[in-house]
Structure formats: C-alpha cells, structure tokens
Copies of this chain bind each other. A is one copy, B any other.
C-alpha cells in the first residue's frame, strides 16, 4: 500500500510541521478539527491539511493515520480510532508517534491491532528543523511507513517489534531531559553557595562535553518544561516494566513540573548557570 493519503491526529507544533512537509511533497493530508480553536484551524489550513470534519472520514480515506498528540491521551485516541475503523470495516495502518512507553504502545496494539496495523514511531528532533530529525520505526509493517523518506523524512526501521521505536525515543529523551534537570538542581545549589564558578571550571576540566550539552539544553527547559516533562513518567514506566527501576526519572519528572510552574522564559540565556541564577534571584524576591 502506498502512502497517498495520510491522516494526522494532533495539529500541534510537530503535527503541523509533519503535515506541511507531507503536503509540500504531494501527499493528501487530512484531519478532523471538530471543536478545535480558530488558531489550530488556521495552522492546519496553512500547512495544507484538509479538515474532514469527523474521525470517521479521516479513518475511511487514510492509508496511514498518524497519532501525534500528547502522551496522556494516546491510549484513549487509539481506542477511538480502532472503534471507528471497526464500525467502518476499514483496515489500515496506525502510526503511534507519541512519546510513550513501549508497553503502552504494545497495549494499544493489543487493543486495536485487529483493525489497524500498529507501527511504532519515535521522533528524535524538533519541529523547527524537521529535515534533521529522525523518525525511528518498528513493527511488522514499519518498512511501509519508512516510505515517508520519499517525502523528505529521515526514517530508520529498528526492527519488527512494536515498542522498539518508542523505547529508542525514550532512552534518548530520558537522557536529555534527565541530565538537564539534574544539572540545573546542582547549579542551583552551586549558585546558592557562591561556588558555581569553580564548579563550572571543574566540569569544564573533567567533563567538558557534559557541560557543553547542559549549556545548550538547559536554557530552553523552563519555557518547555510542562511539555518536555510529559514523557518522563513514560521513561520511568519503561525502565520499571523491563525489570529495572525508573525512580530517577520519576524524580526528574517532579523537578521538571516544578520548573514549569515557575513560568520562566530563559530562551536566549547564554548558559545553564545564568538560568540557575535567574531562578535563585526570583526565589529571593519572593
């Protein structure tokens, strides 16, 4: 089956970027925007997405339905799509592209796999530079979705097991988000004690690559903390379900939520230490 019509559920930042690249490459992109905001409707139209008005229509015409929503609603939406496909007697592919634990994708496969062939997807990279992102894929029909590469996407099939692509994504996200969250806590301590200078020098001397990453990643964290935190419980769930213990990532999730509640915008700050100082100063003022 070729990918002539693709349904995109979730016209957020990533959904819009993906839809636009598909549309620009000749794919018919459809969705349903029932009850969505005017802004979302404008975004969809700009990206060339047709609003078919109902999930039934989207499922009926799509060769592939991509779910790119929030981790929180992934199971619920998949169930709804599966039911819709059953009611319509449609059998096509469901790309589960949310950042969720492998076991959650496997649960979805069990739930809807009789109607929709689930392809597990994990996107590493952001919507602002989609051509540099990698779309990891796994599952028995992953190779069919890998044909997205015809439309400019970097795709990579990891295997035929649903869960591998989402696991790959979470092992990456867990590192970027866990490390940056842990580092910020340490820099909050170092800054409070007035020793962040020597601490940073010591990081530079003994682990310069780590410091470089922290300085690159931490400034963008506060503004995106709520969204970026969403996948952290999924990372913990993944590690737990494999017989280990994801406690560090559960703790990092709580810290990321805390960061989000500060409602700070530190985009453009030069490094992690300046973000830490900003937070310390905010705290003093209160």
A residues contacting B by CB (< 8 A) are: 102, 124, 134, 136, 156, 158-159, 161, 163-164, 167-168, 170-172, 174-176, 178-179, 181-183, 185-190, 192-196, 198-199, 202-203, 206-213, 235, 238-239, 242-252, 254-255, 258, 283
Contact = CB atoms under 8 A, between A and B. Distances in A.
Nearest to A203: B175
A172 to B, nearest CB: 5
Given A178-B182, A182-B248, A158 B195 contact: yes
Contacts of A206: 124, 172, 176
A164 B255 contact: no
Contact of A242 (B188, B210, B242, B249): B188
Contacts of A210: 175, 179, 209-210, 213
A210 B178 CA distance: 12
Contacts of A195: 158-159, 164, 167-168, 171
Given A172-B206, A175-B186, A186-B239, 6 more contacts: A134-B202, A168-B199, A181-B248, A188-B244, A192-B242, A248-B248
Nearest to A212: B209
Contacts of A283: 243
B102 A136 contact: no
Given A247-B254, A251-B247, A258-B245, A190 B207 contact: no
B202 A124 contact: yes
B136 A185 contact: no
Nearest to A200: B171
The complex is assembled from copies of this chain, and their number is 2
A27 to B, nearest CB: 26
B124 A242 contact: no
A181 B246 CA distance: 11
Contacts of A168: 190, 193, 195, 198-199, 202
Identify the interface centre among A164, A176, A209: most chain B CB within 10 Å of its CB. Answer: A209
Identify the interface centre among A172, A238, A252: most chain B CB within 10 Å of its CB. Answer: A172
24 contacts: A102-B193, A158-B198, A159-B194, A159-B195, A164-B193, A167-B190, A168-B198, A168-B199, A168-B202, A171-B187, A171-B195, A171-B196, A171-B199, A182-B249, A185-B239, A185-B248, A188-B244, A189-B244, A208-B209, A209-B209, A243-B283, A245-B255, A247-B251, A248-B251
A192 B239 CA distance: 9
Contacts of A124: 202, 206
Given A203-B172, A248-B182, A254-B247, A193 B167 contact: yes
A170 B188 CA distance: 12
A185 B251 contact: no
